[in-house]
Amino acid sequence: MLTLRDRTRIPTVTWDTPKGLDKLGVLAEPSGVTFIRYREGQREKLFVPYAYTATEFGGQRAWFRCPGCGSRCRVLYGTDSLRCRKYRGLKYQSQYETPPFRTLERARKIRRRLGKSGGAGDPLPAKPRYMHWKRYQRLERLVFRLESAGWEVMRGYTAALSLKLERRRERR
């Protein structure tokens, strides 16, 4: 816990770094959040205001307003300066994957949801208790279609790669 001069305690977020533990104080206010950090004896403060959007039944949803670009976001990234994912140019894991791997990963997640994370082509596990047969059969067909499509596209990728390798060998 960080403390201010008037000895009030500030809730902190703590994480491990190569130099040791690092702390970031978090003060929630009605209009936003103030992040406080002590670095080399100096207190640094960053105020991140809230942005609000209307919800379906008359309420409001609070978002962070990114200090870098001003867009609404749920998560702020960084240690020295907090910014949104888009401002930092971060991607989701699936955006780094090729289409066949994304397709096969989706099938794997459905298999895991059914109770067993077997490999593609393995028989599906028995229907989970309390799942309707209609849903199980729909998921079964979906897994089969996803795996078939994924392996078909993968076959095309490997054929293109082997063709590239052959052309390189011919050039030498």
pLDDT in tens, the chain (172 residues): 444 454 467 788 887 878 878 788 888 888 998 888 877 778 888 899 999 999 999 899 999 999 999 999 999 988 778 899 999 999 888 888 888 888 888 888 888 888 876 676 778 888 888 889 999 999 999 999 998 888 888 888 888 888 889 888 888 7
Same domain, 84 and 97: no
One domain for residues 60 and 101: no
Query: Which of 88, 121, 145 delimits the end of a domain?
Result: 88
The pLDDT of residue 39 is 75
Same domain, 18 and 54: yes
Buried b (16+ CB within 10 A) or exposed e, 17-33: eeeeeeebbebeeeebb
Q: In a 3-state reduction of DSSP, which class is residue 122?
A: coil
Are 111 and 57 contained in the same domain? no
- Structural domain including 76 reads 2-88
Check residue 12 and give its pLDDT: 80
pLDDT at 1: 46
Residues 119, 50, single domain; the answer is no
pLDDT at 134: 95
CA nearest 75: which of 67, 22, 83, 51? 83
Type of residue found at 27? L
What is the pLDDT, as a whole number, of residue 28? 87
User: Number of structural domains, the chain?
Assistant: 2
* Domain C-terminal end among 69, 88, 107: 88
Alpha-carbon dihedral sign for residues 57, 60, 66, 69: positive
